[in-house]
């Protein structure tokens, strides 16, 4: 019987270090912290990588999934340092990385009818481990913005649009995803809901009309709130308006290191 050679374990002589190698688009159930309910089960899409030294031909892709299998029932954000440490050990690497994207659900109450419904937010964790563990958490929050200029020049009405505000932060003390979501929703013309009755639509429409905001206004308002939070080390705020009367989007971004 012919002896099989482990090709990917062979030494490579091209002297090229690969910064990131691993698996992408891994769909997997995870558990995340929920401020109201303690925990929330969701389905994540994960990208997991290690740095591959210049003298290694390849990495062992199956080991990423083997390590993940041991962690998916844990509250993931609190276990990320241990997760990346095990990845690094299992792959004999100097650095490991993970990008975890997932829908996060919050039960929202309509402003007038008080009907409850679930609204999903796209959230993510970016984590890395070399000499030290580094973590960024992020949220993408849909909101309504109403154009101040349109309101000013029109005899009646004003154009509004749905906007996506993306916030990512690094922190020295725990920050809830819900806190970041609330900061964004309180900085826009109006928050949005999954379920609205007519009385609610009237309220939301009039609220947006009374609180016009440019895309620039939104990122500045979010920035002021984040700057005043001593737990936060650094952050980035992006807002993109899906314009209702233009064939392009409006965009603004603020990035800060404290």
CATH code at position 210? 3.10.270.10
pLDDT-based confidence at residue 201 (cuts at 50, 70, 90): very high
Mean pLDDT calculated for residue range 154-164: 92
Per the structure, the count of domains in the chain is 2
- Reply yes or no on whether the pLDDT at 40 is more than 60: yes
**Which residues are CB-contacts of 106 (< 8 A; sequence separation ≥ 6)?**
118, 119, 121, 178, 181
Give exposure, 107-141, as e/b (b: 16+ Cβ within 10 Å): ebebbeeeeeeebebebbbbbbbeeeeebbbbbbb
173 burial level (CB within 10 Å; 0-12, 13-18, 19+): exposed
Could you write out the DSSP letters of every residue in 165-207? EEEEEEESS---HHHHHHHHHTTSSEE--S---HHHHHHHHHH
Q: Looking at the structure, tell me whether residues 50 and 164 fall in a common domain.
A: no
Q: Looking at the structure, tell me whether residues 24 and 92 fall in a common domain.
A: yes
127 within some domain? no
Q: Looking at the structure, tell me whether residues 68 and 158 fall in a common domain.
A: no
Q: Looking at the structure, tell me whether residues 247 and 147 fall in a common domain.
A: yes
- Reply yes or no on whether the pLDDT at 86 is more than 70: yes
117 within some domain? no
**Chain position carrying tokens 């900085």:** 187
228 within some domain? yes
- Reply yes or no on whether the pLDDT at 85 is more than 60: yes
Q: Looking at the structure, tell me whether residues 154 and 248 fall in a common domain.
A: yes
Give the pLDDT confidence score for residue 255 in this predicted structure: 97
1 within some domain? no
Give the pLDDT confidence score for residue 122 in this predicted structure: 98
The more confident residue out of 212 and 57 is 212
Enter the pTM of the model.
Answer: 0.90
Give the pLDDT confidence score for residue 56 in this predicted structure: 64
Task: Return d(Cα 148, Cα 214) in angstroms, integer.
Answer: 7
4 within some domain? no
For 25, the domain range is 9-109
| pLDDT, tens digit, 9 for 90 and up, residues 123-137 | 999 999 999 999 999
Q: Looking at the structure, tell me whether residues 152 and 255 fall in a common domain.
A: yes
Give the pLDDT confidence score for residue 60 in this predicted structure: 75
- Reply yes or no on whether the pLDDT at 184 is more than 90: yes
Q: Looking at the structure, tell me whether residues 145 and 258 fall in a common domain.
A: yes
| pLDDT, tens digit, 9 for 90 and up, residues 3-25 | 565 555 566 667 777 889 999 99
Q: Looking at the structure, tell me whether residues 31 and 98 fall in a common domain.
A: yes
Please compute, for residue 75, the number of CA atoms within 13 A of its CA located in the half-sphere on the CB side: 9
193 within some domain? yes
Percent of the chain with pLDDT over 90: 78
Q: Looking at the structure, tell me whether residues 159 and 199 fall in a common domain.
A: yes
- Reply yes or no on whether the pLDDT at 44 is more than 70: yes
Q: Looking at the structure, tell me whether residues 98 and 148 fall in a common domain.
A: no
181 within some domain? yes
- Reply yes or no on whether the pLDDT at 116 is more than 90: yes
C-beta separation of 221 from 228 below 8 A: no
Q: Looking at the structure, tell me whether residues 93 and 178 fall in a common domain.
A: no
C-beta separation of 176 from 33 below 8 A: yes
The more confident residue out of 180 and 19 is 180
165: left (phi over 0), alpha (psi -120 to 50) or beta: beta
51 within some domain? yes
Task: Return d(Cα 218, Cα 225) in angstroms, integer.
Answer: 11
Q: Which of 66, 93, 109 is the last residue of a domain?
A: 109
CA distances from 73 to 14, 31, 42, 231 (A): 40, 6, 11, 28
**Which residues are CB-contacts of 68 (< 8 A; sequence separation ≥ 6)?**
26, 28, 46, 48, 83
Q: Looking at the structure, tell me whether residues 94 and 172 fall in a common domain.
A: no
């Amino acid at each position: 019987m012919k002896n099989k050679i482990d090709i990917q374990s062979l030494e490579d002589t091209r002297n090229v270090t690969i910064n990131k190698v691993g698996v992408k688009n891994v769909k997997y159930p995870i558990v995340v912290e929920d401020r109201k309910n303690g925990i929330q089960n969701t389905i994540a899409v994960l990208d997991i990588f290690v740095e591959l030294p210049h003298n290694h031909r390849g990495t062992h892709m199956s080991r990423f999934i083997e390590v993940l299998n041991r962690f998916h029932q844990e509250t993931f954000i609190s276990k990320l340092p241990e997760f990346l440490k095990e990845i690094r050990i299992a792959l004999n690497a100097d650095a490991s990385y993970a990008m975890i994207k997932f829908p996060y659900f919050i039960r929202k109450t309509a402003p007038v009818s008080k009907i409850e419904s679930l609204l999903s937010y796209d959230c993510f964790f970016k984590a890395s481990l070399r000499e030290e563990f580094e973590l960024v958490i992020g949220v993408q929050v849909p909101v309504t913005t109403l154009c101040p200029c349109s309101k000013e020049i029109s005899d009646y009405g004003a154009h509004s649009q749905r906007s996506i505000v993306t916030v990512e932060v690094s922190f020295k003390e725990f920050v809830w995803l819900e806190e970041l979501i609330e900061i964004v929703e309180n900085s826009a013309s109006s928050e949005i809901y999954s379920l609205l009755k007519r009385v609610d639509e009237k309220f939301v429409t009039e609220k947006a009309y009374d609180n016009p905001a440019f895309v620039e206004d939104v990122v500045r308002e979010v920035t002021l709130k984040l700057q005043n939070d001593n737990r936060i080390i650094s952050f980035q705020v992006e807002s993109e308006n899906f314009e209702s009367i233009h064939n392009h989007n409006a965009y603004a971004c603020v990035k800060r290191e404290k």
